[in-house]
Structure 1
Amino acid sequence: MQVHEGDVLRFTGRTVGTPEHRATVLEVLGREGNPPYRVRYDDGHETEIFPGTDCVLDRTASGDS
C-alpha cells in the first residue's frame, strides 16, 4: 500500500458489531509511500502504524478520485 499525506485509511471491525474507524495520514515515514505512517484517528488519537489486512485506502475521502 502506497499512500500520501492527507489520504484516509479505513479499518474494518475485526468482530461482528465492531464499528469501522478511520485515520488521516499525517506523515509517511517509509520510502516511496510505504509504511510506517503517522496517522490521526477521528477521535484525535495520533500514532505510527503498519497497516494490516483490515485496512483499506480511501482515496475518495482524501479528495482524490
Structure 2
Amino acid sequence: MKARIGDRLVCEGQHVGDAQRIGTIVEVGHADGSPPFRVRWSDGHESYVSPGPDARIQPADGG
C-alpha cells in the first residue's frame, strides 16, 4: 500500500455495525510512500497506522 500526504485512509469496520474510519494522511513513513502513516482522523485525533487488509487509500487528486 502506497500513499502521499493529503490522501485519505479509509478503514472499514471489522464487525457488523462498525462504522468506517476516515482520516487524512499527514505524514508518510518512507520515501517510497509505504507505511507507517500518520493519520489525522475526522475527530481531530492523530495516530500512526500500518493499514491492514480492511483499509484502502483514496487519492487526494480523486484518481
TM-score (norm 1): 0.88
Counterpart position of 1:64: 62
2:55 alignment counterpart = 55
Kindly provide the CA deviation profile for residues 1-60 of structure 1, in whole angstroms up to 9, marking residues without a partner as x.
11000000100010001111101000101230001111100000101111011101112x
Letter in 2 for 1:13: G
Unaligned runs of 5+ in 1: none
Q: Aligned pair count?
A: 63
CA distance in 2, matches of 1:3, 1:53: 15
- TM value normalised by structure 2: 0.91
Query: Higher helix proportion, which one?
Result: 1
After TM superposition, what 4+ stretches of structure 1 lie above 2 angstroms from structure 2? none
* Residue type at the aligned position of 2:3: V
RMSD over aligned Cα atoms: 1.0
Structure 2 residues not aligned, in runs of 5+ = none
Distance apart, 1:64 and its partner CA: 3.1
- 1:20 maps to 20
